[in-house]
Amino acid sequence: MDWKKKNVLITGGGGFVGSHLVERLAGTGARVTALVRYNSRNDPGMLKRLPPPVKKKIEIVAGDLRDPETVRAAARDAEVIFHLGALIAIPYSYLHPREVVETNVLGTLNVLQSARELSVERVIHTSTSEVYGSARYTPMDENHPLQGQSPYSASKIAADKIAESFYRSFDLPVCVIRPFNAFGPRQSDRAVIPTIISQCLAGRELSLGSLDTTRDYTFVDDLTVAFIRMAEVPEAVGEVVNVGSNFEISIGEIARRVMKILGKDIRVVSDPRRLRPGKSEVARLWCDNRKARQLLDWEPKISFDRGLEKTIRWIEKNPAFYHPEQFVV
């Protein structure tokens, strides 16, 4: 696909992954509109951390995914929509399940309705490995059963199924990308890897939840390539595609690797606030990425350790962005 002058809408463009996708697509010459959640500070999230030449190339629209008029206006000229917008914090979903469901489910419906009405060429809907719940078998392929182990994961299951229904009911050219865990520069300390790094840099005790849970991590640059391939490959329409590294690592091992890179030995303590309710904890996620390799001709290029070093260096240069003394929900 020739992205030059292609009109692209990215919902959730102010988020961690969204801002990297905005930056990559703007670099191709695409005309990028980023929909970000409105706030009174006019804060576009991570987009404010993009290089000035990139920021000049993009249009930022502030609004709320739950408002259909806002979504339709943002999508007015779009040929391709990357739908990343969502409330993604699992602890927050325990506190405010209604807001999470409304944003993630009704917001997705609004995106799909707008895409249908405006005859958008392709919609890439963003799922999450959390829809699988704890692994029943590994590695986990796209046929793994779905299980809502948190209000967040349940909302994403619903959103995924609505996207599927628009493909089957209305022939909307939609596909579902299902990333496992992402990491890299600009990720907030809501996520565990920046939490570990920022606490280690501060030299305090390392306060974490479960150390035994495992995840499959993909560096954000590799993930943005997968998003773009989902838009480019004709055969991706109507499909769900897992994106991950086929590499499983425990939270405790991540902490050890970060301390090794930084040359530190910090005591690790368990903070009950960081533990999920027992039946809600996702103990294990390990991606089977064969479909992505075969269908998208995609594979991760950046190893976990190399990505970890890049992330550490970015956090070292941006300490004010992190709050190692707080538990960030």
Q: What is the pLDDT of residues 269-315, one digit of tens each?
A: 888 888 888 899 999 999 999 999 999 999 999 999 999 999 999 99
Per-residue pLDDT, 271 = 82
Q: What is the pLDDT of residues 27-84, one digit of tens each?
A: 999 999 999 999 888 899 999 999 999 999 999 999 999 999 999 999 999 999 999 9
DSSP string, 156-174: HHHHHHHHHHHHHHH---E
In this prediction, residues 170-175 reach a mean pLDDT of 98
Other CB atoms closer than 10 Å to residue 281's CB: what's the count?
17
Q: Can you tell me the distance from the alpha carbon of 82 to that of 124, in angstroms, rounded to the nearest whole number?
A: 5
Query: Which token pair is 314?
Result: 């970015």
Per-residue pLDDT, 164 = 98
Per-residue pLDDT, 42 = 86
- Beta pairing class for 249-250 and 214-215: antiparallel
Question: Which of left, alpha, beta for 203 (phi over 0: left; psi -120 to 50: alpha)?
Answer: left
Q: What are phi and psi of 284, to 5 degrees?
A: -150, 130
Q: What is the pLDDT of residues 244-262, one digit of tens each?
A: 999 999 999 999 999 999 9
**270 membership: H or E segment, kind and range:** strand 268-270
Per-residue pLDDT, 328 = 74
Per-residue pLDDT, 14 = 97
In this prediction, residues 118-127 reach a mean pLDDT of 98
Distances (CA, A) of 277 to 70, 94, 188, 245, 283: 36, 10, 23, 27, 12
Give me the percent of the chain exceeding a pLDDT of 70. Answer: 100
Average pLDDT in the chain: 96
Domain locations in the chain?
A: 7-183+218-246+285-301
In this prediction, residues 120-130 reach a mean pLDDT of 98
Other CB atoms closer than 10 Å to residue 116's CB: what's the count?
17
Per-residue pLDDT, 144 = 98
Q: What is the pLDDT of residues 218-244, one digit of tens each?
A: 999 999 999 999 999 999 999 999 999
In this prediction, residues 142-155 reach a mean pLDDT of 98
Question: Which of left, alpha, beta for 297 (phi over 0: left; psi -120 to 50: alpha)?
Answer: left
Q: Can you tell me the distance from the alpha carbon of 201 to that of 179, in angstroms, rounded to the nearest whole number?
A: 28
**Does pLDDT of 211 surpass 80?**
yes
Architecture of domain 7-183+218-246+285-301 in CATH?
3-Layer(aba) Sandwich (3.40)
pLDDT bin (cut points 50, 70, 90) of residue 204 is confident
